[in-house]
Amino acid sequence: MQFENTREFARQLDKDDKLSKYREEFIFPKVNGKEVIYFVGNSLGLQPKSAQKYVDEVMKDWAELAVEGHFYADKSWWDYHERFSGKLAKVVGAKPTEVTVMNTLTVNLHLLMVSFYRPSGKRFKIICEEKAFPSDQYMISSQVRFHGYDPEDAIVEIKKREGENNFRTEDVLEKIREVGEECALVLIGGVNYYTGQVFDMETITKAGHEVGAFVGWDLAHAAGNIELKLSEWNVDFAAWCSYKYMNSGPGNASGCFINEKYHNKKDIPRFEGWWGHNKERRFLMEPEFQPEPTADAWQISNAPILAMAPYLASLEMFDEVGMPALIEKRNKIVAYLEFVLHEIDKEVDSTFEIITPADQEHRGTQLSVFLHGEGKELFRYLMDKGVITDWREPNVIRLAPAPFYCSYEDMYEFGQILKKGILSKQKVN
């Protein structure tokens, strides 16, 4: 499609957009009395209007039923989490039994490493990407030390090539083959938080298995953003947070995928608690742990219902719309944003560079833009004008137009604000 950088053209795209009505289902903060242009759905998604109703429902059940709410609330609490599995399974391409909701992301990655990082003999190394999200670096390093190894010896980082912005799949595969039988685990962020690059999870998972390693993925920036086929790709485990593209609310519960081939495997250890116990017998309070025959066996504590209520509200919208429609709009709106950026680049003295892969196969919703010169000043200008982006050192703003609630006109408007910001700065200098 031939794009045009005009308001009329952007408005026409919005008119033709089947998802445009969903914008009304979200609450936008305001700056200077105007709804913001929200580019940080990759950090914290906007609040769906239906979230309040779901929370109120739990508050009402708690007030009226108190402890009886566990069994007699309309959405009973003892099995509240089960309402997520089927719908989440569709989002991540898994079987409902392979998906569970519990805890928060880093906690879950630690718990999954109890099962899938069991170094012994020669096989003790973990392969991850360089400059992984800091929490992943701390998590991996502390796991390695917990097992008595030195992170210097046990952590192998995949590097980008000199002068390149993104990782090459061939380099990941080569590193996996090089570490070979010393590799215990490959654990990478499926979508890189800094650049928005999407890794070839299927190929990398296969390569990890070929050297006898487990392969897990941190899907914080992938869930609700890109197409995932965790079962088909034969991924061993994965975890993601829900507060980014999945719009569940700050710090909300994480989702986990555990491949069904491990559900009943006795030699896969696990930290256990009563919510992972056979649900038919949970309240018999028996001393011996009998695991649920699903990913729920990894659950430890009873679910935080009040926190999960807004997540359920959001997940139901995902189920209604479906990932294919979201991805179709995502591709178009990101392509339009990219076009607008290039158009503005032509109109001003070039001051920025998109470091996210240009091909749709290797990116999702996020475009990371490297600002040359006084980048932070421009970032502040945008924030003051109601364009909410985020800043990552040394000089990057990340723009993620979530397809659920961002409009094409937002992209056009952003371009105009950006141009003014750059021109006003160039005049001053």
Ligand X SMILES: Cc1ncc(COP(=O)(O)O)c(C=O)c1O
List residues forming the annotated binding site for pyridoxal 5'-phosphate: 105-106, 133-136, 218, 221, 243, 274, 302
CA distance 244 to 260: 26
What type of residue is 340?
V
Of 224, 212, 163, 158, the closest CA to residue 183 belongs to: 212
**What's the closest the beta carbon of residue 119 comes to ligand X, in angstroms?**
22
Choose one: 79-87, 99-107, 273-281, 385-393; the region binding ligand X (CB under 6 A). Answer: 99-107
Residue 244 or 385 having the CB closest to ligand X: 244
Residue 239 or 422 having the CB closest to ligand X: 239
3-state secondary structure of 353: strand
- The answer to whether 239 and 255 have CB atoms below 8 angstroms apart is yes
Contact between 193 and ligand X per CB under 6 A? yes
Residue tagged 């002068």 (tokens)? 163
**What's the closest the beta carbon of residue 421 comes to ligand X, in angstroms?**
27
Residue 3 or 116 having the CB closest to ligand X: 116
CA distance 296 to 256: 9
Choose one: 128-136, 225-233, 304-312, 401-409; the region binding ligand X (CB under 6 A). Answer: 128-136
Residue 256 or 378 having the CB closest to ligand X: 256
CA distance 202 to 4: 36
**What's the closest the beta carbon of residue 199 comes to ligand X, in angstroms?**
12
Is the sign of the CA dihedral 134, 135, 138, 144 positive or negative?
negative
Contact between 144 and ligand X per CB under 6 A? no
β-partners of residue 27 are 47
What type of residue is 157?
E
Binding residues: 105-106, 133-136, 218, 221, 243, 274, 302
First to last CA, the chain: 38
For ligand X, which residue has the nearest CB? Answer: 106
Tokens of 85: 């599995």
Tokens of 268: 């896969």
**What's the closest the beta carbon of residue 225 comes to ligand X, in angstroms?**
12
Contact between 221 and ligand X per CB under 6 A? yes
Choose one: 8-16, 51-59, 129-137, 141-149; the region binding ligand X (CB under 6 A). Answer: 129-137
Distances (CA, A) of 190 to 167, 180, 187, 204, 239: 12, 21, 9, 10, 10
Chain mean position to CA 209: 24
**346-385 mask for ligand X (x: CB under 6 A)?**
----------------------------------------
Contact between 189 and ligand X per CB under 6 A? yes
Contact between 106 and ligand X per CB under 6 A? yes
What are the residues binding ligand X (CB under 6 A)? 104-106, 133, 135-136, 189, 193, 218, 220-221, 241
